[in-house]
Amino acid sequence: MKKYLIAVFLVISACSTPQETLVAPRVVQTEASFSETGEQDSGIIGVVEGKGFEITKRTAERYNDLVLQYKEELVGLSKESDHYYLSNEGMVLFLDLNQKNQQPK
């Protein structure tokens, strides 16, 4: 009988104790990375009227990789000297592919 009462007490106390699931916060990178020489080597550098988003070489390579991975048509990427530009349409595709790539598989 004693064991029965102890078991009932444990069950009741376990049920009445609020259970909280701990969820790790999502890590969101909000800053561009920089090379050892202090030059920005990822992300959007700026917006250039008539050309679109000026992006780094590393970002252009990531865009190309995502386009190949998801078998999409390369849209809106251009290069002038050492500068890479992505049109508005290309940026929308890049963001869509990046989001698709981050989803659990």
- Give the distance from CA 53 to its chain's centroid: 19
> What pLDDT shows up at residue 104?
78
> What pLDDT shows up at residue 87?
94
Any idea where the domains of the chain sit in the sequence?
Answer: 42-105
Residue 4, judged by CB atoms within 10 A of its CB (0-12, 13-18, 19+), counts as exposed
Give the tens place of pLDDT for each residue, 38-84: 777 778 899 999 999 999 998 999 999 999 999 989 999 999 999 99
What are the structure tokens assigned to 64, written together?
């190309």
- Mean pLDDT for 2-23 is 62
Distance, CA of 4 to CA of 12 (rounded, Å): 12
Distance, CA of 45 to CA of 41 (rounded, Å): 9
Query: Which pLDDT band holds residue 96 (cuts at 50, 70, 90)?
Result: very high
> What pLDDT shows up at residue 52?
94
Distance, CA of 102 to CA of 96 (rounded, Å): 10
